[in-house]
Amino acid sequence: MYEASLKLKCTRPDAVRKSLEPDIKNDENTDTQMSVDGEFLLINVKSKKLNYLKAILNNYISLVNMLEEVEKVG
């Protein structure tokens, strides 16, 4: 199994986590966990397939960046 962890600095990590949690789809191929540590959103992803892991990580990085940009505008 492949595994990767992200530690992303956010202005409102709790709000970002709550926004992303409904989209987590854990199944026999992937397992994703999110938590908050101070000003950081921690994302841990495990996957049986490397291409799934890469896609999941890219999606979360893009979504967090988008939510941070929305926060700046709002």
Q: Which domains does the chain have, with CATH numbers?
A: 2-73 (3.30.310.50)
Selected residue with higher pLDDT from 33 and 74? 33
Secondary structure (3-state) at 30 = strand
Q: Which residue in the block uniquely carries the two structure tokens 């989209």?
A: 23
Contact 71, 11 (CB under 8 A): yes
CB atoms within 10 A of CB 69: 10
Q: What does the pLDDT look like over 27-36, one tens digit per residue?
A: 999 999 999 9
Secondary structure element (H or E) that encloses residue 5, with its range? strand 2-9
pLDDT tens figures, 2-61: 999 999 999 999 999 999 999 888 999 999 999 999 999 999 999 999 999 999 999 999
